[in-house]
Structure 1
Amino acid sequence: MTVRSRPPSYCVVGGGISGLVTAYRLRMAAGPDASITLFDPADRLGGVLRTEQIGGQTVDVGAEAFIARRPEVPALLAELGLAGRQVGTTGVRPLIFAGGRLHPMPQGTLQGIPANAASMTGLVDAPTVARIADERARPLPWRRGADPAVAELVGDRFGSQVVARSVDPLLAGVYAGSAATIGLRSSVPTLAAALDRGARSLTDAVREATSGLGPPPGAGSVFGAVDGGYRVLVDELIRRAGFGWAQVGVRRIEGAGRGWTLIDDDGGHSHADAVVIAVPAPLLPGIVEPFAPSTAAAARRIAVASTALVVLALPGGTPLPEHSGVLVASAERLHAKAITLTSRKWGRRGNVELLRLSFGRFGDSLARNTSDEELLSWAADDLADLFGIRPDPEDCLVQRWIDAMPQYGPGHADLVAQLRAGLPPTVAVAGGYLDGIGVPACVASGTRAAASVAVATAAE
C-alpha cells in the first residue's frame, strides 16, 4: 500500500438522510483536510426528511418516526449531542378501518400477522377465526431460504381477510405497497428466520418471532421522533460534515484514471477519488451505466411507488378519537390509505389538532395526477366518513413524494447483492431501496457506504 500524497476527495450524490450520513461519516473518517462535495438539485437538503410550519406548529411532512428499538438513530442523535431531543409517543394505539367500520388494532401481531385466533376476533369473520385457530394442525410446506410474497403465505395459512384487513394496512403504511407485492424476507425477516429454523406452523413462527420483540431499551415507546422535527438532525449533520453543496444533479459518472469524473446536469465536470451514490433507485441506472451496466440493470428491476400527503391543522378541540391514527384495509371506499392523528400520537402543542392523511399505493398514479384541491376535498370526505366531522382547517399543506417508495419484492436481497457486486471498490451506493425502508436503515446504509469507500481509498 502506498502513502497518499494528498488528502482524499469524495463526492456524494444525493442529499437525503443516506447521503448526509455518508458525508458526515466520511468527514469523521478522513479528517478536516479531505474534500467532500455533495450534489443535490433540491431547494433544501434532507430528502424525505422535510419539516414545515403548519398551523404555527412544527410538522414532519415526509418520514415521521423511527423504530426506537433499532440502535442507529438513537446512537446517531447521542453522537451529535441531540439525545435530549428524542421523544416518544403518548402510547395511544391506532385503529383499522375494515368492513366499513373502525376496529382496534389487534394485539400481538407481527406486521399484522396474528399469533393467535383471538386477536382477529371482530376484525375478520368467524370462518377465518376458525381457520387461524386450526392452522397449527395443518402441515406447513416450507422451503428453507424461500421468499414468497407475504400474501401468498399468509393468505394460504390464515385466509384472504387476514391479508386484506390486518396485513395490507400495515404494509401500505410502510411501503405504499401490498402484501401481494412485498417479499416476506424484507418485510418480516424475523418470521422468515423462524420458519427457516424449523417452525412447524405459521402460528408457531409468529410466536417465536415476536417473543424477542420487547420494548426499546430504557424506554416505553416503540416509535421515536425528534423534538423540533427531523430538520434538527439534518441541520446538525450538515454542520458537522462540512461539505460543499453543489446544487445540481449528476447526469453520469465516468472513470478517470484512478478516480472518477462526475458530469452534472449543467455540463460541469468534477473529480473525486471515490463516490457514494445516494439517490432513489430510478435515478441510479443513468448515473452508473457507463461503468457498471449490471448495477444499472439490477436497479431498473426495483419498482417504486409515489405518495401524496395532506397535512391539516384543525381547530383546537375538534373531536377526534384518542388513538394514534387509522390504517385502511385494502378495497375500502376511503381515499386515504392511512391517517395519523399527530396531536394524539405525539402530544398536542398549541391550539390546533394536527393530522396527516396519506394517499397513493403502488401501481396507481394518484400522487402524480390528482390536484391539490381534489386531495384536500378527499381528506375532508374521509374525515367525515370516519369521524363524522367536517371542520374548516386553520392551515393545510399538500406534499408529494414521487417515486420515493421502493418496493421490496420477493428476492429483493439477492437483487441488491447483484447491484452492489457490479460496482468497483471506490464507488458505493446508499439509500432506502437497499437494506430497508425507514430512517434507521438509511442511517445504516450511509454508514456502510462511507466505510466502504474510505477503506478503498486508503488502500490505493
Structure 2
Amino acid sequence: MNADTTGTQRAPHAVVVGGGITGLAAAHRLLAAGLRVTLLESGGRFGGKLLAGEIAGAPVDLGAESLLARRPEAVALAEAAGLGDRLQAPATTTASVWSRGGLVPMPKGHVMGVPGDPAALAGLLPEEALRRVAGDLDLPPTEIGDDTAIGAYVAARMGHEVVDRLVEPLLGGVYAGDAYRISMKAAVPALFEAARRHPTLTAAVHAVQAAGAAVPDDAAGAATGLGGSVFAGISGGVGTLPGAVADTVRAAGGTLLTGAPATALLREGAGWRVVTPERVLDADAVVLAVPAPAAAGLLGGHAPRAAALLDTIEYASMALVTLAFRRAGLPALPGSGFLVPPVDGHTIKASTFSSQKWRWVGEAAPDLFVLRTSVGRHGEEAHLHRDDEDLVAASLKDLGAATGLAARPVATTVTRWNGGLPQYPVGHLDRVARLRAALAGLPGLALAGAAYDGVGIPACVASAHRAADAVAGEILATSKSTHPGAGHSS
C-alpha cells in the first residue's frame, strides 16, 4: 500500500481502461475488494454497446436489449446498482423464422437450433431434410477432436438445411457471424461436451436438455419471465444499466473519466503508469476492458506475443434500424419478432417487435408500435456502407415481404456498431489460453471483455470479475507481505 503525506497507508490504486459494461463491472468489483479505482473511457459516455435512447418520444434500447437471467452476474450487478425492481420479463415468449417467404413458428426442443426431435421442425424443413435430420441416429459416432465448427459438425450429421434454416439465424445471429466457422466448444460448450460423450448428436441434445442447459425455444429475443426466466430486460432499457453502475461506483469513491483515452501503458517499478492526453496515472494494477485491437496497442511494448494474438481476433459490424409506426392500421404482427436465415438472401437478419416484447415500451407509447431490424454480419460489411435512408428502405421492404407491413414510419433511427462483436472461430478458447499465458509474467495486469469468454452481458460481467479478482488478489497479497497488519482504508 502507498502512504500519503500524513503517513497513513492508502489502499492500492487500480486503473480500469474502458467504460463499457465490462469496465464498469470491473471498477465496481475492485472497489468492493478495497482498492481505489480510476476508470478511463475514451468516448463521451459510458456503456459501450449498451445504449438507451428514444424514438418519437418512446424509450428504446439502441444497443443490447436483454440479458441472460439464468446466469447470475448481470442480474446481480443490476440489483447492486439499484435496478432490481426494474428487471422485467418480456411480455411474449413466441417468435418466428422467416423462411422461404413465410413466417414459421420457432421450433421447440432445440439447443441453439440443433434439434432433439425432427418432428419439431415440420413446417420449417421439407420432408427430405427432416429425414436427413432423423438420419443422425443411424450414423456412427463422429470424432469431434479438441474443437469443431458447429455448423460443419451439425451439417455432417443432420444436413445443411437445419444449419441454414435454424442454427445459422440463431447462433450466427448471436455472434453476427458464420455458423460454419463458429467454435462449438466456445459458443455452445454444453453441447460440445455432450457430443463427445454420446454416440449421436440427437442423444447429445437430449443430454443437454435433461441437464437444463438448453437455450429456450424463444431465443429470437423473448423470455419466460423472472423467477426461472431465461432472459430479462430492464424497464427503461438495458442501456440504463451502465449509468446506474457508474453512479454506484462514484458513490463508493471511484473516479470515472470520459474523454480520457489511454495512449500508453508503461511499467513503473512494481506497478504501472497509464498515460492519457491530459494526465498520467500511477497504478498498482490495470484492467484492460477495451476491444482487442486497443488492448494490443497498449501491450505491444510489454507482451508482443499477447499483442499479436489480440490482433488476430476478428470483429463483425452491424447496424440496428429502429422504426416507430402509428398503431392504427398495422397488420397483426406475431409474438416478439422473427429471425431471417441468411441463405434466403434478404438484407435484414432479424426483427424485434419491441412494443410487444417489452411492456415498458408499449406502456410509454401506447399509440405507437416500435420495432427494430438488424443488418450486417461478419464478412457482410458492404451493407453498412449504405446510408441511413437506404438501410431504412431495405428494412421496410423486407418487413413488408415478411409480415405485410405497408405503413410508413413516423420516425426512424439507425445505430451503427462498427467492430461491435468479436468472432469465436474454431480454436478460440485455445487462443485465449495462449493469450493469458503470454501475460502471466506481467503482475497486476488483466484483460476483460467480450473478446475472451463470451459475448453476452453476463459473460462480460463475469470476465470483469475474473480480471478484477486476479489483480486485486495479487496486489493485496503483495501489500500485506510488505506492510503486515495494514488495513484497506481508502
User: Could you say which TM-score interval applies, normalised by the shorter chain?
Assistant: over 0.9
- Asked if the contact 1:299/1:419 (under 8 Å) is kept, the reply is yes
Deviation at 1:285, TM superposition (A): 0.9
Partner residue, 1:117:
118
Query: Structure 1 residues 64, 217: closer, same or farther in 2, change over 3 A?
Result: closer
Q: 2:449 aligns with which of 431, 437, 441?
A: 431
Deviation at 1:169, TM superposition (A): 0.4
- Asked if the contact 2:225/2:231 (under 8 Å) is kept, the reply is no
Partner residue, 1:205:
204
- Asked if the contact 2:348/2:398 (under 8 Å) is kept, the reply is yes
Partner residue, 1:408:
424
Partner residue, 1:324:
336
Moved more, 128-137 or 202-211: 128-137
Query: What is the identity, as a one-letter code, of the residue corresponding to 2:206?
Result: R
- Asked if the contact 1:252/1:290 (under 8 Å) is kept, the reply is no
- Is 1:451 aligned to 2:469, yes or no? yes
User: How far apart in 2 are the matches of 1:270 and 1:62?
Assistant: 31
- Is 1:7 aligned to 2:7, yes or no? no
- Asked if the contact 1:339/1:355 (under 8 Å) is kept, the reply is yes
Deviation at 1:223, TM superposition (A): 1.3
Query: Structure 1 residues 134, 367: closer, same or farther in 2, change over 3 A?
Result: closer
Deviation at 1:218, TM superposition (A): 6.2
- Asked if the contact 2:331/2:404 (under 8 Å) is kept, the reply is no
Aligned residues: 454
Deviation at 1:368, TM superposition (A): 4.2
- Asked if the contact 2:322/2:373 (under 8 Å) is kept, the reply is yes
Deviation at 1:333, TM superposition (A): 3.1
- Asked if the contact 2:69/2:226 (under 8 Å) is kept, the reply is no
Where 1:90 maps in the other structure, the secondary structure is coil
Unaligned runs of 5+ in 2: 217-223, 479-490
Where 2:125 maps in the other structure, the secondary structure is coil
Where 1:77 maps in the other structure, the secondary structure is helix
Where 1:157 maps in the other structure, the secondary structure is helix
Partner residue, 1:41:
42
Where 1:250 maps in the other structure, the secondary structure is coil
Deviation at 1:108, TM superposition (A): 0.5
- Asked if the contact 1:37/1:244 (under 8 Å) is kept, the reply is yes
Partner residue, 2:244:
236
Query: What is the identity, as a one-letter code, of the residue corresponding to 2:462?
Result: A
Query: What is the identity, as a one-letter code, of the residue corresponding to 1:26?
Result: L
Where 1:285 maps in the other structure, the secondary structure is helix
Query: Structure 1 residues 218, 345: closer, same or farther in 2, change over 3 A?
Result: closer
Partner residue, 1:182:
182
Where 1:331 maps in the other structure, the secondary structure is helix
Partner residue, 1:290:
301
TM-score between the two structures when normalised by the length of structure 2: 0.88
Where 2:452 maps in the other structure, the secondary structure is coil
Deviation at 1:176, TM superposition (A): 0.3
- Asked if the contact 1:150/1:179 (under 8 Å) is kept, the reply is yes
Partner residue, 2:220:
none
- Asked if the contact 2:2/2:12 (under 8 Å) is kept, the reply is no
- Asked if the contact 1:38/1:245 (under 8 Å) is kept, the reply is yes
Query: What is the identity, as a one-letter code, of the residue corresponding to 2:341?
Result: A
Query: What is the identity, as a one-letter code, of the residue corresponding to 2:131?
Result: A
User: How far apart in 1 are the matches of 2:384 and 2:370?
Assistant: 24
- Asked if the contact 1:91/1:221 (under 8 Å) is kept, the reply is no
Superposition RMSD in Å: 2.0
- Is 1:63 aligned to 2:64, yes or no? yes
Partner residue, 1:52:
53
User: How far apart in 2 are the matches of 1:391 and 1:218?
Assistant: 34
Partner residue, 1:16:
20
User: How far apart in 2 are the matches of 1:427 and 1:444?
Assistant: 17
User: How far apart in 2 are the matches of 1:320 and 1:248?
Assistant: 48
Query: What is the identity, as a one-letter code, of the residue corresponding to 2:375?
Result: F
Deviation at 1:158, TM superposition (A): 0.6
- Asked if the contact 2:16/2:39 (under 8 Å) is kept, the reply is yes
Query: What is the identity, as a one-letter code, of the residue corresponding to 1:419?
Result: L
Partner residue, 2:34:
30
Q: 1:309 aligns with which of 317, 320, 332?
A: 320
Deviation at 1:106, TM superposition (A): 0.7
User: How far apart in 2 are the matches of 1:183 and 1:16?
Assistant: 25
User: How far apart in 1 are the matches of 2:164 and 2:392?
Assistant: 26
Using the aligned pairs only, state the percent identity: 38
User: How far apart in 2 are the matches of 1:244 and 1:129?
Assistant: 55
Moved more, 173-182 or 73-82: 73-82
Partner residue, 2:88:
87
Query: What is the identity, as a one-letter code, of the residue corresponding to 2:275?
Result: I
Query: What is the identity, as a one-letter code, of the residue corresponding to 2:474?
Result: A
Partner residue, 1:139:
140
- Asked if the contact 2:114/2:154 (under 8 Å) is kept, the reply is yes
User: How far apart in 1 are the matches of 2:232 and 2:382?
Assistant: 29
Where 2:319 maps in the other structure, the secondary structure is strand
Deviation at 1:172, TM superposition (A): 2.8
Moved more, 396-405 or 344-353: 344-353
Q: 2:458 aligns with which of 440, 447, 452?
A: 440
TM-score between the two structures when normalised by the length of structure 1: 0.94
Query: Structure 1 residues 218, 395: closer, same or farther in 2, change over 3 A?
Result: closer
User: How far apart in 1 are the matches of 2:275 and 2:75?
Assistant: 37
Unaligned runs of 5+ in 1: none
Partner residue, 1:378:
394
Alignment of 1:390-405 (within 5 A): 390-405=406-421
Deviation at 1:288, TM superposition (A): 0.8
- Asked if the contact 2:296/2:308 (under 8 Å) is kept, the reply is yes
Where 2:417 maps in the other structure, the secondary structure is strand
- Asked if the contact 2:2/2:10 (under 8 Å) is kept, the reply is no
Q: CA offsets per residue over residues 151-199 of structure 1, 9 Å max, x none?
A: 1110000101111001000023200002111010112111111123x21
